[in-house]
Amino acid sequence: MGGDNVSRIRGFCLLALAVALLAGGCATTDDREELKRLQARAAYERGLANLRDKQSALGVAALREAISLDPGVPLYWNALGLVYLEMRRPDLALVGFRSATDLDDNYAEAFMNTGIALAEMGRWEEAVGAYRKALASPTLAVAHIAYQNLGLALYHLKRYAEAEEALRFAIGLEPKMEGAYYNLGLVLVAQGRREDAKRAFRHARDLAPHSPFGEAAVGQLKALGDGG
């Protein structure tokens, strides 16, 4: 009987030791994962610093490092996409933005950026869908920009009534957005509403006379016989 007790005690001790070792192994794995997350965040921050210093190649490398360490963070993919947009590579940007939205179906900013990348490639119908997805989210902080971009995409699709509605909504949200007035002018010209178009172009010119939109509005007004 005593031997049986010793055997049971020894067996219990071995089991306890095995559990302890397994627990220790899990903790070590968790520690490694946490370290990778911290390293990824550091790489992301370094990438942003590189981009602020206009070092695009280093910024891309750092963001790719962050993604390789922690690929499940949508923020990193979206940031990489934005860099590629700045580098005029919408095709590569689109991969980043779509990776971000695949990870987070409620990532409104990434959906809006997806629309921008698609628009840069002239894929207007798809851009409309991406902008609408972004606008459906209550978390979108720049709805006025999304509505302006939506209006421009609809203009290119010759869906002028919808384009006008989107652009007027953008102006209602941000009355000092000269780009929305300029694009509205284009829509109105396309509809043959010359006087309404002139008013829109004047707004764009008066809001920001030295901006690209303001200067383009002057050209449009001259073409409409207004003199700018």
Instruction: Report the C-alpha gap between 151 and 147 in whole angstroms.
Output: 6
The pLDDT tens digits for 177-224 are 999 999 999 999 999 999 999 999 999 999 999 999 999 999 999 999
Please check whether residue 33 is in contact with residue 70, taking contact to mean a CB–CB distance below 8 angstroms: no
Buried-exposed string 146-179: b where 16+ CB fall within 10 A, e elsewhere:
bbbbbbbbbbeeebbebbbbbbbbbbebeeebbb
DSSP 65-106: HHHHH-TT-HHHHHHHHHHHHHTT-HHHHHHHHHHHHHH-TT
Asked if residue 16 has pLDDT above 70, the reply is no
Of the ranges 23-27, 29-33, 74-78, which is most confident? 74-78
- Predicted local distance difference test score (pLDDT) of residue 11: 44
3-27 burial code (b ≥16 CB/10 A, e <16)? eeeeeeeeeeeeeeeeeeeeeeeee
Nearest to 105 by CA among 135, 137, 132: 137
What is the residue-averaged pLDDT of the chain?
Answer: 90
Asked which of 17-26, 81-90, 104-113, 156-165 is least confident by mean pLDDT, the reply is: 17-26
| pLDDT for position 24 | 53
Euclidean distance between CA atoms 204 and 217, whole angstroms:
6
DSSP one-letter code for 53: T
24-38, 44-58, 76-90, 190-204: least confident range: 24-38
Domains, the chain, ordered by start = 34-122 (1.25.40.10), 142-228 (1.25.40.10)
CA 1 to chain centre: 72
Instruction: Give residue 28's pLDDT.
Output: 73
CA distance readout (Å), 184 to 113, 160, 174, 188, 222: 21, 10, 14, 6, 17
Nearest to 73 by CA among 49, 37, 105, 39: 37
Question: φ and ψ at 157, to 5 degrees?
Answer: -90, 5
Q: How confident is the model at residue 26, as a pLDDT?
A: 57
The predicted pLDDT at position 27 comes to 55
228 pLDDT above the threshold of 90: no
